[in-house]
Amino acid sequence: MIDRLRKDVLNLGEIGRQVTGGISRPSLSEYDVEARKYVLKTFREAGLRVFTDAAGNMIGVRSGEVESPIVTTGSHIDSVWNGGMFDGVLGVMGGLEAIRMFNDDGVRTKLPIALIVFTDEEGAFSSLTGSSYFAGVLERQALYDLKNKYDGRRFGEGVTRIPREGYMERFTRPIRAHVELHIEQGPVLEANRVDIGVVTGIVGIRWLNISFKGRQSHAGATPMNMRRDPAIPLARTTLKIREIALKHGDMVGTTGHITLFPNVANVIPGEASLVADIRSLEAADLEDAVGRVVRSAKIYAKRENVDLEYSIPQKTEPVNCSPLVIHTISKVVEELGYSYMQLPSRAGHDTQNMAKLTGEVGMVFVPSRGGVSHAPEEWTEWEQAHRGVEVLRKTLIRLANQ
Ligand SMILES: [Zn+2]
């Protein structure tokens, strides 16, 4: 019911709220502990059997006619600093609302359904931390050694502060399928005036560091033709990144970080560096784009007689949502009479780690007002949020009865 969902989202939205109206609730913080307690209570009230693993992922299981495999859903309740009320929370409280509706209707499913709250999706410690552990790509020692970027404390210390109901080192039941409900966090659904986004995949990401080294010298005394100015190839490379992204269908490319050294108005910089963020659903396109950017940057560097170094500090591969889950979600949306479109997710989500445990993954998006997210203004109309829950509910039933 829409009222129950609204109440839960609003209640969680009070935990960690700042004077700005934004929410600062990084994982394993005091506010996260409070939010976990709230969620645990609602899980118990809905009759879920709760497990907590060594990463603090909370797993609420609703029994099916058989023990396994299970169908999973879920998201996260941590936030970025000064973030919004819906990011992650909608997938958790919306998943819970779907389960409460099963309870109301006396729905029984063949496979059990588990609702998961993943720890640290937003990266207070790492990136998609809890789901990386859940999927077995992060080991316990490496996890516990991670440092919190806000207070420097280790994960292993922070995790002792959270409630650990039904503790088990790892939750290992085989997973049949995984579906996550999430706000879009972008403007596409709203601009197209559709209710639901059926996600086709989650983009892969390349971060490309390029550093140009020239000769630091006087901005007045050095004639134009006697300079080795690294800011020039940097500027050209930035434009090239946009040009390359525009040439590939669904690619986006951004230069979000630039440094000049020493960054002083009357000094020709000695060093200029940038970090490019390039995203696409196609792994081959990502490789191609990185290669093109580097080749162009080398040409621009040579023209100005400066040196170039580059590295790729972050590389995640694209994940395709499964045809079965995409089809199931689309059918459900049609039956409910909602409008929808297919689109990729250009932000990272826990679902990309779940794809390591099951080939059958998918995501349901609902519109974000103005496309705004990770900000206090983040908003989704309650009717739209509830449509997302309806789609999730019916999709889960189908997947759990196969
Ligand atoms: Zn999120």
Residue 118 has what pLDDT?
98
Within 8 A by CB and 6+ apart from 74, the residues are 91, 92, 95, 114, 115, 116, 117, 118, 180, 350
Structure tokens at 379: 């908003």
Q: How far is the CA of 89 from the centre of ligand 1 (A)?
A: 8
Residue 68 has what pLDDT?
95
As a dihedral over the C-alpha atoms of residue 113, residue 185, residue 40, residue 180, rounded to 10 degrees, the angle is: 10
Q: How far is the CA of 179 from the centre of ligand 1 (A)?
A: 14
One of 3.40.630.10, 3.30.300.130, 3.40.109.10, 3.40.50.2300 is the CATH number of 2-202+318-400, namely 3.40.630.10
Residue 206 has what pLDDT?
96
Q: How far is the CA of 323 from the centre of ligand 1 (A)?
A: 23
Extents of the domains making up the chain: 2-202+318-400, 204-316
pLDDT over 90 (residue 249) = no
Residue 127 has what pLDDT?
86
Q: How far is the CA of 299 from the centre of ligand 1 (A)?
A: 39
Q: How far is the CA of 251 from the centre of ligand 1 (A)?
A: 21
Of the pLDDT bands very low, low, confident and very high (cuts 50, 70, 90), residue 314 is: confident
Q: How far is the CA of 211 from the centre of ligand 1 (A)?
A: 32
pLDDT digits (tens, 9 = 90+) for 322-365: 999 999 999 999 999 999 999 999 999 999 999 999 999 999 99
Q: How far is the CA of 174 from the centre of ligand 1 (A)?
A: 24
pLDDT over 80 (residue 1) = no
Q: How far is the CA of 100 from the centre of ligand 1 (A)?
A: 22
Q: How far is the CA of 292 from the centre of ligand 1 (A)?
A: 31
Q: How far is the CA of 270 from the centre of ligand 1 (A)?
A: 40
Q: Helix-strand-coil percent breakdown of the chain, rounded to 5?
A: 35, 25, 40
Amino acid identity of 386? Answer: H
Q: How far is the CA of 238 from the centre of ligand 1 (A)?
A: 28
Q: How far is the CA of 287 from the centre of ligand 1 (A)?
A: 26
Q: How far is the CA of 25 from the centre of ligand 1 (A)?
A: 13
DSSP 104-160: HHT---SS-EEEEEES-TT-SSSSSHHHHHHTTSS-HHHHHH-B-TTT--BHHHHGG
Residue showing tokens 């996890």: 143
Strands 70-76 and 175-183, sheet pairing? parallel
CA distances to 21, 86, 202, 205, 245 from 285, in Å: 40, 32, 14, 11, 10
> Alpha-carbon distance 329 to 197, whole Å?
10
Average pLDDT, the chain: 97
Alpha helix positions (H), 202-313:
231-247, 283-303
Residue 38 has what pLDDT?
98
pLDDT digits (tens, 9 = 90+) for 63-73: 999 999 999 99
CA 303 distance to own-chain centroid? 40
One of 3.30.420.130, 3.40.1640.10, 3.30.70.360, 3.40.50.300 is the CATH number of 204-316, namely 3.30.70.360
Q: How far is the CA of 121 from the centre of ligand 1 (A)?
A: 7
Of the pLDDT bands very low, low, confident and very high (cuts 50, 70, 90), residue 397 is: very high
Within 8 A by CB and 6+ apart from 118, the residues are 57, 74, 75, 76, 128, 130, 131, 134, 350
Q: How far is the CA of 348 from the centre of ligand 1 (A)?
A: 8
pLDDT digits (tens, 9 = 90+) for 131-185: 999 999 999 999 999 999 999 999 999 999 999 999 999 999 999 999 999 999 9
Residue 25 has what pLDDT?
97
pLDDT over 90 (residue 402) = no
What SS3 class is residue 298? helix
Q: How far is the CA of 128 from the centre of ligand 1 (A)?
A: 10
pLDDT over 80 (residue 224) = yes
**Burial of 151 by CB count in 10 Å (0-12 exposed, 13-18 middle, 19+ buried)?**
exposed
